[in-house]
């Protein structure tokens, strides 16, 4: 696979959640695409697939997973085959998941667990990505998760780890700007320097979301509007990217659709203003 196998897509969208299904079924909404959680639709028949198929008639769809376990010791091939069946049916913009591990020996933690940035982990993850891409028949798009701890003696930075994965596997990137900000705050690194070390030509999608203040660090909760600090970071680098899909992600305390559409409009306005400044 090569970069041309996954062309860019320029647009502004929303993570589609159950409270807004009827809004999207009743009327065409002012978004360029929607993203759905893959696992919610990896079923045989029933209402979920019917809803997704009807929405797909109006909007391009990106599939975003939370259980591929790309950093695990072994991949679940049955999971990947079911994911491919969904992708073949929906014809998504792309299939994405998280650069993390989620379980071991058949146990799913239902959490996005951090990877050690070592040569051993790099080799394992690269092999898993190549296998997943082969079974899925398409390039993967991988998201940077938020992290709350760092392993000692890692040998390389997260940005260097991600860049090398792209070089070895020809995968693409989903940059979660909130996760960048959360991790940078928690670990004390410069988010701009982190971005400068990435192959930004590999970015196909952006997530914008909110977070919460925990006892000792920020927590990626996706339960609040996008905060000013995340908007500011997004504005600082969006003009450096080519055609990318930008979306608002909310997973808890979900407000009326109009509130999220207002954030989608803000994301579009910031991108337009940033690009005019560098033109």
Integer Cα distance of 80 and 73 in angstroms: 15
The mean pLDDT values, 10 residues at a time, for the chain of 279 residues are: 68 97 95 97 84 95 96 94 96 96 68 84 97 98 88 85 97 97 92 94 97 88 95 96 96 96 98 87
Q: What is the pTM of this model?
A: 0.94
Number of domains in the chain: 1
- 186 and 217 in contact (C-beta within 8 Å)? yes
Range of the domain at 127: 3-278
- pLDDT number for residue 10: 96
Q: What is the CA radius of gyration of the chain?
A: 18
Convert the pLDDT of each residue in 6-42 to its tens digit: 888 999 999 999 999 999 999 999 999 999 999 999 9
- Residues 163-179 as b/e (b if ≥16 CB within 10 A, e otherwise) read bbbbeebbbbbbbbbbb
Convert the pLDDT of each residue in 254-276 to its tens digit: 999 999 999 999 999 999 999 88
124: which 2 tokens? 């394992």
Helices and strands per DSSP (H, E), number in the chain: 9, 12
- pLDDT number for residue 105: 62
CATH code of the domain containing 265? 3.20.20.150
């Amino acid at each position: 696979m090569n970069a041309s196998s996954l062309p860019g897509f320029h647009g502004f969208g929303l993570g589609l959640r159950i409270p807004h299904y009827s809004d999207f079924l009743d009327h065409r909404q002012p978004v360029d695409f929607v993203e759905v959680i893959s696992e919610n639709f990896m079923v045989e028949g029933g209402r979920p697939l019917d809803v997704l198929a009807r929405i797909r008639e109006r909007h391009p769809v990106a599939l975003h997973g939370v259980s591929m376990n790309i950093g695990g010791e072994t991949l679940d091939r049955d999971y990947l085959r079911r994911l491919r069946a969904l992708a073949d049916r929906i014809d998504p913009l792309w299939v994405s998941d998280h650069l993390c591990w989620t379980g071991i020996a058949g146990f799913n933690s239902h959490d996005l667990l951090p990877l050690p940035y070592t040569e051993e982990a790099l080799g394992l993850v690269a092999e898993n990505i190549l296998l997943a891409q082969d079974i899925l028949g398409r390039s993967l798009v991988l998201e940077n998760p938020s992290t709350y701890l760092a392993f000692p003696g890692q040998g390389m930075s997260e940005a260097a780890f991600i860049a090398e994965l792209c070089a070895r596997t020809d995968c693409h990137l989903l940059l979660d700007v909130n996760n960048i900000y959360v991790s940078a705050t928690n670990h004390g690194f410069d988010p701009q320097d982190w971005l400068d070390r990435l192959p930004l030509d590999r970015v196909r999608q952006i997530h914008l979301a909110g977070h919460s203040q925990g006892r000792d660090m920020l927590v990626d909760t996706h339960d609040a509007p996008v905060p000013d600090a995340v908007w500011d970071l997004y504005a600082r680098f969006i003009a450096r990217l080519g055609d990318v899909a930008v979306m608002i992600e909310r997973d808890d305390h979900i407000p009326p659709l109009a509130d999220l559409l207002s954030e989608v409009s803000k994301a579009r306005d910031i991108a337009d203003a940033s690009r005019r400044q560098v033109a």
